[in-house]
Amino acid sequence: MRFRKWPRPTAYEETSRKRAAFLAKQRRERDALPLFADVIASGQHSVDEEMARRAEWWPERQQRMRDERAAVWRRARASLFEFPADTRRTIRRIWRTCPYPADPYSFADLLHQIRVGKVDPDRPPWKYHARVQARTTPNPQRFADAFKRIGQRQVELTPGAPPVEERLFCGNLGNGLVLLDARPPIEGEDAVTLLVRGACTDADIALIDRLAEAAEKRPVKVVRVDVPQTREAGFQNRLLILACSATKRRDPGWIPAYERYDGPLWQTWRTVDPDRRLARVGFLSARYGFRAVDSPIEDYDARLTPDLAERMIAGGMTTRWPRPPSPNKPDNYGSHPGCEIASLASHGARPFTDVALVGGGLYLQVMRGFLGGFWEMRCITPDARITEINAGIGIMRARLRAWLEEGRAW
């Protein structure tokens, strides 16, 4: 059981500084009411009496705090044994690695959180993060069940015509966010025009048409105004994820990662795509985690170990890298993969259809672990092509060049 020992009671240590501080306190009390200074002084005791009082009080207070902590430990351990044996073993295991202070109050609080269901001992929150689930309506019966009105705006249906009110709706049928613009009929027509934007299938379009006609009680013309962001529909956006390199420019301070790293793969990428137009590029670093190549970084020396790779994968999209230098520091260091991939994919507006993972075995393992989170954030299309490049350095450079050259056709 992990715990922090509490020091044994010690004798009060008298110093000249403590004596001077007590005399200064008494002087401030007299100076606060100068007309009654003599009366106040007569009620004050000497510094020797104060030191004697403290010498008697200090060990008693220490012992009282020690006894209180011991009592809390005993109650917490008794509470631990109320759990089944398998759960007790799991709690002991996670307590050894959790970031909470090793004191009885933190242990008792952890047991309480487990008991009320706020902490799952098999998936502790400091290692696993709850997946973000979009609020969807897969099988709506009414238009109002699936779509919520979010506003309206004035538009001109034809040049020079008076503006009319266009209603705006949003919803999610299970494939992603869908935005609807409901325009009133043009003069001479009876059908409402429904402009659809977002991720939806042909079946979703038919469902929207049926629900909208039932809600409007008149004909509805559904028009899709954006192209489905899939490879099959011809949409193309490419992402290259490079492993960091041991060879770096030793310039002091912070410089962009694409200037800092100078390994063979980075040289190949800069040669083939000097303007960075063939693909959006990110990198995976043992120190900085997943970042975009224009992120400024310092010179460093760190290696990706199996333990660190497991922690990166377990951290998922919301764990910041680098980690704080101490558990007592606030967790606001660095950046997390979710933020970086969202920026690269224009926050889901331009998801990636072609992804290349380039690096050693451990780096590829972490990259694969991140792909699931990227897909859940809709920053990678469901039919995206994933290319892994891992071989001898000469073969890797040739394959990286070939993958980049493919982008010139788009």
pLDDT in tens, 107-118: 999 999 999 998
Specify the pLDDT at position 130: 60
Distance CA 178, CA 204 (A): 10
Q: How many CB atoms lie within 10 A of CB 225?
A: 9
Grade residue 11 by pLDDT with cuts at 50, 70 and 90. Answer: very high
Return d(Cα 377, Cα 356) in angstroms, integer: 18
Strand segments, DSSP code E, in 147-278 are: 147-155, 164-172, 177-183, 192-198, 220-224, 238-243, 255-256
Secondary structure class of 107 (helix, strand, coil) = helix
pLDDT in tens, 295-317: 999 999 999 999 999 999 999 99
Q: Model-level pTM?
A: 0.52
Residue type at position 23: L
Quick one: pLDDT band at residue 202, thresholds 50, 70, 90? confident
Rounded mean pLDDT, 333-349? 87
Task: Decide: 183 and 192 in contact? Cβ < 8 Å.
Answer: yes
Residue 371 · residue 337 · CB < 8 Å: no
CA distance 4 to 94: 16
The confidence band for 43, taking pLDDT boundaries of 50, 70 and 90, is: very high
How many Cα neighbours within 13 Å face the side chain of 245?
21
Pairing of strands 220-224, 192-198: parallel
pLDDT per residue over 127-183, tens digit each? 876 666 678 888 899 999 999 999 998 877 665 678 888 899 999 998 888 999 998
Q: Give Cα separations from 11 to 19, 48, 55, 388 (angstroms).
A: 16, 16, 7, 67
pLDDT tens profile 238-288: 999 999 999 999 999 999 999 999 999 999 999 999 988 899 999 999 999
Contacts of 391 (CB under 8 A, 6+ apart): 399
**Spatial distance between the Cα atoms of 300 and 297, rounded to a whole number of angstroms:** 9
